[in-house]
């Protein structure tokens, strides 16, 4: 699944947090960094996005099935 497919009626953006992991800032590089998730917030996907203010930390977005 791609990041652009998450923004529909089936999934809802619940939470964003930081993780200690580098994510490339190149244009479109983070489009394919979407992984299945089953945990504390429910069942869905996580998406890794670059943090433009740090090279050590990146953002993790939690997209949960409604």
> pTM, whole model, 2 decimals?
0.86
**Residue-wise pLDDT tens digits, 42-65:** 999 999 999 999 989 999 999 999
When pLDDT is averaged across residues 2-14 and rounded to a whole number, the result is: 86
User: Dihedral sign, CA of 36, 30, 64, 58?
Assistant: positive
What tokens does 44 get? 């869905």
Calculate the average pLDDT of the chain: 90
Higher pLDDT, 21 or 1: 21
Contacts of 39 (CB under 8 A, 6+ apart): none
Residues in the chain: 66
Instruction: Say what the pLDDT of residue 7 is.
Output: 81
**Residue-wise pLDDT tens digits, 16-41:** 999 999 998 888 777 889 999 999 98
What tokens does 5 get? 């497919």
């Amino acid at each position: 699944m791609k990041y652009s497919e998450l923004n529909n009626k089936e999934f809802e953006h619940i939470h964003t947090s930081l993780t200690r992991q580098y994510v490339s800032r190149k244009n479109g590089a983070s489009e394919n960094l979407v992984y299945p998730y089953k945990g504390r917030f429910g069942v869905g996907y996580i998406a890794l996005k670059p943090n433009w203010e740090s090279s050590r930390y990146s953002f993790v977005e939690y997209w949960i099935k409604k």
